[in-house]
A and B are shown apart, each in its own frame.
Chain A
Amino acid sequence: MIVAGCDVGSLTAKVVIMNDGKILASPVIRSKPRPEESAKEVMDMALSKAGLSMDAIEYCIGTGYGRAKIPFVDDVISEIACHGKGAQFLLPTARTVIDIGGQDCKTMKIDRIGKLVKFITNDKCAAGTGRFLEVMAKVLGVRLEDLGALSARARAPVTLASTCTVWAQAEVIRNLNEGKSIEDIGASVNEAMAKRVAILANSVGVEKDVYMTGGVTKNIGVVKSLERLLGVKIKKSRVDPQVAGALGAAVFAKERLEGRAI
């Protein structure tokens, strides 16, 4: 039973093709000016990756900002519902998913059947996103991937008082000039990052299991600080939650075909 989900967002478009619960293809492209173009292009890519023709798709659900313009869908469902469904499929025990990307941070809370209970995102302020760590790594003269390990080697971590990336950067420079060690400052950077993320996560209410996704999972210092601040053990996942919406749409399509209620 081959089904598809198509998520046309404002920045990217994604398609997931599934066969009996197995993902065959899940391409992501940058959105074109017109949603129908994005949908066609990403679907063509998915079909060619899966080695299928459009006729093979038995049911397709559209979602995302441009869902009303997707020419080949059988039905549409809101992106919120699809995101929850997709996250639950990828991480069945997850109730809270914290996704930190290079330019944003999202926290979503889902129930046991994958219904999205709450969702909050910060893409307005660089603090609490991967960008914060990028800026600080540059100032400290360490590679981004080495920043996380500094926390464990810190002897007397300093405290950064500023939330704003610009002000915190000035604080880091001041600490460097005062002769504080890279480890002690690095630890404070990771801690400041975790604090900011914890505020966002707490505002949706943190429930176990807590999963973290996105590039910042590689920073062990941030993960440890976040575990301490939230008082939970965090499970890390390498899945790309970017496709969760399209995936959720495909799962809904499968349930439709199976005659299950949504």
Chain B
Amino acid sequence: MIVAGCDVGSLTAKVVIMDNGNILSAPVIRAKTRPEESAKEVMDMALSEADISMDAIKYCIGTGYGRKQIPFADEVISEITCHGKGAYWFLPTVRTIIDIGGQDAKAIKVDENGNVIRYVYNDKCASGTGRFLEIMADTMEIKLEDMGKISLSSNSPVSISNQCTVFAETEVISLVNDDKEIPDIVSGLHRAMAHRVASLVKGIGVETDVIMSGGVAKNVGMYTALSEVLGVQIKKTKVDPQINGALGAALLAQEALRSRPSV
């Protein structure tokens, strides 16, 4: 029984194709201008990696910011439910999921069966989302994906006093001009961002186990900073943290097929 989940986010699009609980392919691409284009392109990639055709997919669930524009989805489900499902699948002891994407941050609480009990999210303020780190990486002329590694060599992280992305950017420029070490600035930014995310997560209460998903979860510095600020050891996802939503969508597709009487 082959199913798929397709998650079209603001910055990336992902597809997970599963066959009886095994992941066949899970590509991630940068989102195009139009969500339908992103969906088609990432699905084509997933199909070719899994070496199957579109007809082989028995059920497909769409999720994410652009979910309504996915042409081949049989059903759409909110990313909150999908993230809960995905995380629970590889870590049944998970109770809190912190998903930080390019344009938002969510904290999701699930019960012992993986059902979403509470959630909270921020998409109003860029601070505390992936965009914050992206802007800072640009300002310091370093690569976003290198930030985690760079922060590891910091001995004394600077303290960033501004929360607002715009004001913090100016602060970073002054810090660079004051010859502060880049690793110390990057590490300070991770801490600042961790505090922002932590205040969101505390809104629903932190219960272990905690995992992080979304693109920002690929940043090892954010793992450490957020673990420190929350006072818990955040666990690593067993799959690419960016595909968690698409994985949940594929799992929900599988459930949908199983619960349907066969025709």
Contacts and interface: CB of A to CB of B under 8 A. Distances in A.
B167 A126 contact: yes
Interface stretch (B113-121, B123-131, B212-220, B225-233): B123-131
A126 B166 contact: yes
A7 to B, nearest CB: 22
A189 to B, nearest CB: 14
Contacts of A124: 162-164
A131 interface: yes
A125 B164 contact: yes
Nearest to B165: A166
Contact of B124 (A131, A132, A135, A163): A163
Contact of A126 (B124, B135, B164): B164
Nearest to B122: A164
Contacts, number: 34
Main SS of chain B's interface residues? loop
B124, B162, B166: most-surrounded residue (chain A CB, <10 A): B166
Interface in A103-162: 103, 124-126, 131-132, 135, 162
A131 B166 contact: yes
Nearest to A131: B166
Contacts of B165: 126, 164-166
B167 A103 contact: yes
Contact of B125 (A103, A131, A132, A164): A164
B124 A164 contact: yes
A131 B168 CA distance: 12
Interface of A: 103, 124-126, 131-132, 135, 162-167
Interface of B: 103, 124-126, 131, 135, 162-167
Given A163-B124, A165-B164, 16 more contacts: A124-B163, A124-B164, A125-B125, A125-B163, A125-B164, A126-B164, A126-B166, A132-B166, A162-B124, A163-B125, A164-B165, A165-B126, A166-B131, A166-B135, A166-B165, A167-B124
29 contacts: A103-B167, A124-B162, A124-B163, A124-B164, A125-B125, A125-B163, A125-B164, A126-B165, A126-B166, A126-B167, A131-B166, A131-B167, A135-B166, A162-B124, A163-B124, A163-B125, A164-B124, A164-B125, A164-B126, A164-B165, A165-B126, A165-B164, A165-B165, A165-B166, A166-B131, A166-B135, A166-B166, A167-B124, A167-B126
